[in-house]
Amino acid sequence: MPAAADAPLIAMRGVTKTYSGITALEDVGFSIAAGEAVSLAGENGSGKSTLIKILAGVEQRDSGEISFGGQPQNGLTPRTAAAAGVKVIFQDFSLFPNLTVAENIGFSAELGAGHRLVNRGRVRALAEATLQRLGVQIDLDARVESLPVAHKQLVAICRALATEARLIIMDEPTTALTGREVATLLGIIRRLKADGVAVLFVSHKLAEVLEVCEHVVVLRNGRKVAEGPAAEFDQAKLTRHMTGRDVADAPPEALPPDAPLLMAVRGLAKAGAFAAVDFDLHGGEVLGISGLLGSGRTSLAKALFGLVIPDTGSVRVDGRDVALGDPLAAAHAGIGYVPEDRLTEGLFLTQSILRNVGIGRLEAHGRAAGVLDLAGLWADATDWLKRLAVKAPRVTAEVRSLSGGNQQRVVLARWLSRSPRVLVLNGPSVGVDVGSKAEIHGIIRELSAQGLGVIVISDDLPELLTTCHRILVMKDGRITDELAGGTAEADLARRLAS
Ligand code: ADP
Ligand code: MG
């Protein structure tokens, strides 16, 4: 794009878009300079994707102005936006699965350059150079469909770079990535910036939003509600802007010294997963278990609920041994378990909310009465849905129609309706937006205030530090450290990594 002197790379003013009566964006404006990384943050539904589509010419704005390098852009199309150097990495990456890495990266550049015949040598050389520019190693001849998600994403980024990208827009790029892959991606974004490429990083995850970008723009309900240097934001402030509410982030108050012992785990071990695990959990205590991927934390969580069979050791609840490797025995002993992947492990997606909650109670009601007390089931489930503030059109709606945060609450409601003594939450806020996350943390506080013991397995450090009384650090299957909740995040990060 021919840049007017001093004009920003991209400037928007008063951009508004409605979809059949729903206002997706209203009067949004901000600008991006060359080589600058801007975070566009906002909860689900706040208008982030709509804004991207308008910048990329995929959707047309109703009103407002957009200029590239000082040149007003009217009637943007995907073609003209791309020609101006605006490249979007959409969530599906839009790659050709049955072509190779080299072909995916090099083809559009080759065609864009006006060559009538594709020159394989040139395509390969370009792909290789682009991968090198980002310092990534991926087999040029691998078919893209065979690559892990993180590599597909890198290929998509390389393809954008190979065609003269001035601004790379990434829509929720970390959704499908592991912690380590996120770190790699953030490193790539830094390299892009250093190379003079601007990045618009779209996310609803607080830590990432603040980490890579010098400038933050926050959307809420289609409006820009905050904007400024990333240095002027912290997670609490960002959350406040994204949700429009204050969110408590102080660690929980100390346990009373006479809190009863609820659960005692001794010498729990499983070859290849974890060993010599000892800990106590008291009534009202929230105990965090953290560790990097592969540290054994997930196997341990599952073992506590009988989903993984330990080789040796014991788990006692209220002084009684719980049969190991038996989820039913664990449930009878008062242990509840909310899986990380609630979508595949925890819920019957095509069944009603009521039914999903009721399954937890079915046993209790059925056994006691000899017949099913449907009215009791209904009343109980409805009560828990209300107490957990599940937002749903009606309790008979299918679970799959709910947002992530509300699905998580349905799983919680199921367990709570059985009056558990200990609740094991594996990644309680994975995949939910900040508002729901804060509410889930509020629920954890309430449960612990009622005397429940809660075990939170998580790699979200701020989550652990604000919800837990104590945090156990796992490494190579062993508990190597213990910290108090409210410890500085950097401390916990260091102990996890050391
Ligand atoms: P985000 O990416 O921040 O989650 P979106 O831009 O996808 O938000 O959505 C913003 C709002 O616009 C939402 O209320 C959404 O339901 C609505 N919306 C988005 N795309 C469409 C569409 N094609 N038709 C109707 N409504 C839409
Ligand atoms: Mg979106």
Protein residue closest via CA to atom 17 of ligand 1: 24
Angle at CA 203, nearest 5°, toward 199 and 205?
Answer: 130
Res. 368 pLDDT band, cuts 50 70 90: very low
Query: Which residues does residue 453 pair with via DSSP β-bridges, in sequence order?
Result: 422
- For residue 44, give the ligand 1 atom closest to its CA: 4
Ligand lying closest to the C-alpha of residue 219: 1
CA separation for the pair 143, 98 (Å, rounded): 6
What is 45-100 written as a DSSP string?
TSSHHHHHHHHTTSS--SEEEEEETTEE--S--HHHHHHTTEEEE-TTTT--TTSB
Ligand lying closest to the C-alpha of residue 19: 1
Q: Which of 15, 16, 22 to mutate to test the pocket of ligand 1 (most atoms within 8 A of CB)?
A: 22
Among 20-34, 90-104, 334-348, 481-495, name the one with the lowest average pLDDT.
Answer: 334-348
Q: What is the CATH number assigned to the segment(s) 261-497?
A: 3.40.50.300
Protein residue closest via CA to atom 15 of ligand 1: 45
Res. 208 pLDDT band, cuts 50 70 90: confident
Of 105, 165, 109, 113, nearest to 140 by C-alpha is 105
Ligand lying closest to the C-alpha of residue 24: 1
Q: How far is the CA of 458 from the centre of ligand 1 (A)?
A: 30
The pLDDT value recorded for residue 4 is: 56
* Residue-wise pLDDT tens digits, 52-84: 999 999 999 999 999 999 999 998 999 999 999
CA separation for the pair 401, 410 (Å, rounded): 12
Pairing of strands 198-203, 167-171: parallel
Ligand lying closest to the C-alpha of residue 53: 1
Q: How far is the CA of 42 from the centre of ligand 2 (A)?
A: 9
CA separation for the pair 304, 279 (Å, rounded): 12
Protein residue closest via CA to atom 6 of ligand 1: 47
Q: How far is the CA of 47 from the centre of ligand 1 (A)?
A: 6
Res. 345 pLDDT band, cuts 50 70 90: low
Given a cut of 50, whether residue 366 has pLDDT beyond it is: no
The pLDDT value recorded for residue 131 is: 92
Q: How far is the CA of 493 from the centre of ligand 2 (A)?
A: 30
Axis crossing angle, helix 149-162 with helix 179-194, rounded to the nearest 10: 10
Average pLDDT along the chain: 86
Protein residue closest via CA to atom 5 of ligand 1: 47
Q: How far is the CA of 53 from the centre of ligand 2 (A)?
A: 10
Q: How far is the CA of 160 from the centre of ligand 2 (A)?
A: 20
- For residue 50, give the ligand 1 atom closest to its CA: 6
Tokens of 490: 């950097």
User: Which residue would you say has higher pLDDT here, 257 or 99?
Assistant: 99
- For residue 46, give the ligand 1 atom closest to its CA: 3
Average pLDDT value for residue range 273-277:
95
Average pLDDT value for residue range 453-468:
90
The pLDDT value recorded for residue 5 is: 59
Angle at CA 457, nearest 5°, toward 356 and 148?
Answer: 85
Protein residue closest via CA to atom 27 of ligand 1: 19
* Residue-wise pLDDT tens digits, 212-260: 889 999 999 899 999 999 989 888 788 888 887 665 566 788 888 889 9
- For residue 47, give the ligand 1 atom closest to its CA: 6
Average pLDDT value for residue range 177-186:
82
Ligand lying closest to the C-alpha of residue 171: 2
Residues of the chain with CATH 3.40.50.300: 10-243, 261-497
Ligand lying closest to the C-alpha of residue 91: 2
Residue 454 CA, distance from chain mean position: 21
Pocket around ligand 1: residues whose beta carbon is below 6 Å from it? Answer: 19, 22, 24, 42, 44-50
Pairing of strands 286-291, 453-457: parallel
CA separation for the pair 177, 183 (Å, rounded): 9
Tokens of 390: 């599940």
- For residue 59, give the ligand 1 atom closest to its CA: 23
Q: How far is the CA of 219 from the centre of ligand 2 (A)?
A: 12
Q: Which of 17, 19, 403 to mutate to test the pocket of ligand 1 (most atoms within 8 A of CB)?
A: 19
Protein residue closest via CA to atom 16 of ligand 1: 45
Asked if CATH classification 3.40.50.300 holds for the domain at 10-243, the reply, yes or no, is yes
Given a cut of 60, whether residue 365 has pLDDT beyond it is: no
